[in-house]
Amino acid sequence: MGKCPLCRSENTSFYYEGESREYYSCIDCGLVFVPQVFFITYEAEKVKYDQHENFPDDLVYQDYLKQIMNPVLDRISEGASGLDFGSGPGPTLSKMFESRGFQTDIYDAYFAPNEEVFNKSYDFITACEVVEHLHKPQMELDRLFGLLKPNGVLAIKTQILSSKEEFPTWYYKRDMTHVCFFSDQSMRFLADKWKVEMVSVKSNVVLFIKTSKKV
């Protein structure tokens, strides 16, 4: 069904059909994706995102976000600045970084569409539960990686695809705004492409460190 949206390979094949849409897999990078013909509208996506009830003063939500924040804190120095990409309707992760002294910009295509962030450079970038929504993951992820300063950290939090056998009952694919499903192979593909170190912190958090990968 056309090219893979992550690596642009045409080496793709049918993977699964359900939820009134089809899924395809890429042999070369391991991404499972939904073809564009099954994307819901911008307006329908916005309605879905408006239903998110994530509030900055919610301590449970803050603890959840620490899964991606703490590994980044371990790898940045005093004075570092960052970007929270896909900050959502109630920016929280950026406030958590700022409370620790790290100036943090936000960007969200629906709630904070500030294109000026793409003219800057950052010591760290977070994408928490975002990449699975990307219609153009190759363009968006390459752009984010290009914003990193030397030794910068790109932190991605998403549910990692495990096996084809579990896919039919996997809750993560039931969200119609989720159109890209990353596997371990997909993450390794990005690290090899960017020639950087990749660190899997948890089963659903991956860091890309912008230093030359050790041979």
Across the chain, what does the average pLDDT equal? 94
pLDDT computed for residue 215 by the predictor: 42
Q: How far apart are CA 24 and CA 167, in angstroms?
A: 12
Edge-to-edge order in the sheet of strand 205-212: 104-107, 82-85, 122-128, 148-157, 205-212, 196-202
Q: Where are the domains of the chain?
A: 12-212
pLDDT computed for residue 202 by the predictor: 81
Question: 154 phi and psi, to 5 degrees?
Answer: -105, 115
Is pLDDT at 111 greater than 70 in this prediction?
Answer: yes
What's the distance, CA 91 to chain centroid?
16
pLDDT mean over 81-99: 95
pLDDT mean over 118-142: 98
For 53, counting Cβ atoms within 10 Å of its Cβ (0-12 exposed, 13-18 middle, 19+ buried), the class is exposed
Residue 208 — very low, low, confident or very high, per pLDDT cuts 50/70/90? very high
pLDDT computed for residue 53 by the predictor: 65
Residue 65: how many other CB atoms lie within 10 Å: 22
Q: What is the pLDDT of residues 1-21, one digit of tens each?
A: 689 999 999 999 999 999 999
pLDDT mean over 186-214: 91
CATH architecture for residues 12-212: 3-Layer(aba) Sandwich (3.40)
Is pLDDT at 176 greater than 70 in this prediction?
Answer: yes
Residue 212 — very low, low, confident or very high, per pLDDT cuts 50/70/90? low
Is pLDDT at 213 greater than 60 in this prediction?
Answer: no
Q: What is the pLDDT of residues 40-75, one digit of tens each?
A: 998 999 888 877 667 677 889 899 999 999 999 999
